[in-house]
Amino acid sequence: MTPHSIDRAARPSVWSGLALLLSTAHAIVMPDGVTGKVPSLGWNSWNAYHCDIDESKFLSAAEVIVSSGLLDAGYNYVNIDDCWSMKDGRVDGHIAVNTTRFPDGIDGLAKKVHDLGLKLGIYSTAGTATCAGYPASLGYEDVDAADFADWGVDYLKYDNCNVPSDWQDEYVACAPDAVQTGPNGTCSTALEPNLAPPGYDWSTSKSAERFNAMRNALAKQSREIVLSLCIWGVADVFSWGNETGISWRMSGDISPEWGSVTHIINMNSFKMNSVGFWGHNDADILEVGNGNLTAAETRTHFALWAAMKSPLLIGTDLAQLSQENIELLKNKHLLAFNQDSVYGQPATPYKWGVNPDWTFNYTNPAEYWAGPSSKGHLVLMMNTLDHTVRKEAKWSEIPGLSAGRYEVRDVWTDKSLGCLSSYKTAVAAHDTAVILVGKKCRNW
């Protein structure tokens, strides 16, 4: 690690307009007016390696991102997760980098990653220790933010572990992954006596205060650093997260299993109103290439994450990733929808399918989704059942469309399907049909 060479007191902040942006738009807008507007794309170390990390793994991932064409497709973050530091406390008030794992320090790694045309992310926690027990940032926000900036960091994943008792919230919010819920995912004081009263302002909570402290510390730096809140959907982050960071985790951790994929889709289907430019529900790191997900389940996983406009952070050993999955991650239609600079809203459910509309069900969530984009309406039909089902997308049921004939393209094959009055297809178990509905055909 190189010594600090910049006089922090003399550096102008790139965030000088932050307070104005917060007071007028009630949302974080990064100073360059571009970064964070659409979901982040990149790679994160946790799902592949957990704490078994070192510089070579990040450089290898960075090189594959470039050589595979993933960088050209938009994936530009290489993000360090937990366990990058020494575990036995701070040195002179600073988190000490584990120089056995990172012999050139985080700043040395950042330079190598930047030289490849990529950006570097790092990890900390708004608590007394990270989730794996390493030094964290609560009470040290200014010190750590300044170190991250000096090291050349571009992105901070900020977790929520090891919160001390004096920083616990007065109430709990209705977060199904954190509290007991009743029928259809509802909460009540009978099930959770400490449930927040109706109308409670969660932006005044201690959770918001903890995360805002890091937002404010990053705002003082001369380097632009994206803040991603890994807060698991608690403290009703959906109501205030957009004042603090550009994305926020909306659930507990993902696992590479079909039940985890549908679990997260179900929860997020009820939280789509909080998604827009500079603000995204983070459905967690992608499991493409991991676990026992079938090819069909992997397609559904990626398609729904892209359509929900979650950040898309690859979470596997890229050197072992199949070409089929690399091509899936590069699907130009799904990435175009996720990264659309004109339409900020995500795809949303327009029909539940197996269950009545607005049913909260982890096994069979909403199956019919659609959303507008610069290229047309993205329409998805997911099959949550264990056998093939024939499905139909009817234009009259989709918000923004009406009866008629439209130009339709298959998102998976990139083939034109011609002018159709609806789209009917057989969808295999756990797979998802995805089409792009373009202009109305002439003479209709």
Chain segment 177-223, per-residue pLDDT in tens: 999 999 999 999 999 999 999 999 999 999 999 999 999 999 999 99
Residue pair 312/305 in contact by the 8 Å Cβ criterion: yes
Which is it for strands 376-382 and 432-440: parallel, antiparallel or unpaired?
A: antiparallel
What's the pLDDT score for residue 32?
Answer: 77
Catalytic residue among 150, 159, 284, 431: 159
| Rounded distance between C-alpha atoms, residue 329 and residue 70, angstroms | 8
Distances, alpha carbon 186 to alpha carbons 178, 365, 414, in Å: 13, 16, 41
Catalytic residue among 177, 253, 317, 410: 253
What band does 27 get if pLDDT is binned at 50, 70 and 90? low
Boundaries of every domain in the chain: 8-343, 349-440
159 is a catalytic site residue: yes
In single-letter form, the type of residue at position 333 comes to H
What band does 444 get if pLDDT is binned at 50, 70 and 90? low
Q: What is the pTM of this model?
A: 0.94
Q: Is the pLDDT of residue 376 over 80?
A: yes
| Rounded distance between C-alpha atoms, residue 354 and residue 323, angstroms | 33
Q: H-helix or E-strand containing 207? A: helix 206-219
> What percentage of the chain carries pLDDT values higher than 70?
93
What's the pLDDT score for residue 33?
Answer: 80
In single-letter form, the type of residue at position 35 comes to T
| Rounded distance between C-alpha atoms, residue 81 and residue 124, angstroms | 8
The dihedral over CA atoms of 114, 117, 123, 126, expressed in degrees to the nearest 10, equals 100
Tell me: the pLDDT tens digits for 225-278? 999 999 999 999 999 999 999 999 999 999 999 999 999 999 999 999 999 999
What's the pLDDT score for residue 25?
Answer: 43
What's the pLDDT score for residue 414?
Answer: 98
Q: H-helix or E-strand containing 419? A: strand 416-420
Other residues' Cβ atoms within 10 Å of the Cβ of residue 109: 27
Residue pair 35/85 in contact by the 8 Å Cβ criterion: no
Question: CA angle at residue 383 from 378 to 384, to 5 degrees?
Answer: 125
- Residues counted in the chain: 444
State the binding site: 81-82, 157, 159, 232, 249, 253
What's the pLDDT score for residue 70?
Answer: 98
What band does 10 get if pLDDT is binned at 50, 70 and 90? very low
Q: Which of 231, 219, 217, 338 lies closest to 277 in space, CA to CA? A: 338
| Rounded distance between C-alpha atoms, residue 198 and residue 200, angstroms | 6
Three-state SS for 335? Answer: helix
Assigned token pair, 138: 């609560």
Place of tokens 């094959």: 413
What band does 43 get if pLDDT is binned at 50, 70 and 90? very high
What's the pLDDT score for residue 16?
Answer: 38
For the chain, the straight-line distance linking the first and the last C-alpha, in angstroms and rounded, comes to 66
What's the pLDDT score for residue 26?
Answer: 55
In single-letter form, the type of residue at position 294 comes to T
Q: Does domain 349-440 have CATH number 2.60.40.1180?
A: yes
Give the CB-side neighbour count of residue 442, counting CA atoms within 13 A.
0
| Rounded distance between C-alpha atoms, residue 127 and residue 139, angstroms | 8
| Rounded distance between C-alpha atoms, residue 90 and residue 419, angstroms | 64
Q: What are phi and psi of 391, to 5 degrees?
A: -125, 160
| Rounded distance between C-alpha atoms, residue 389 and residue 82, angstroms | 42
State the binding site for beta-D-galactose: 81-82, 157, 159, 232, 249, 253
Q: Is the pLDDT of residue 138 over 90?
A: yes
Q: Which CATH class is domain 8-343?
A: alpha beta
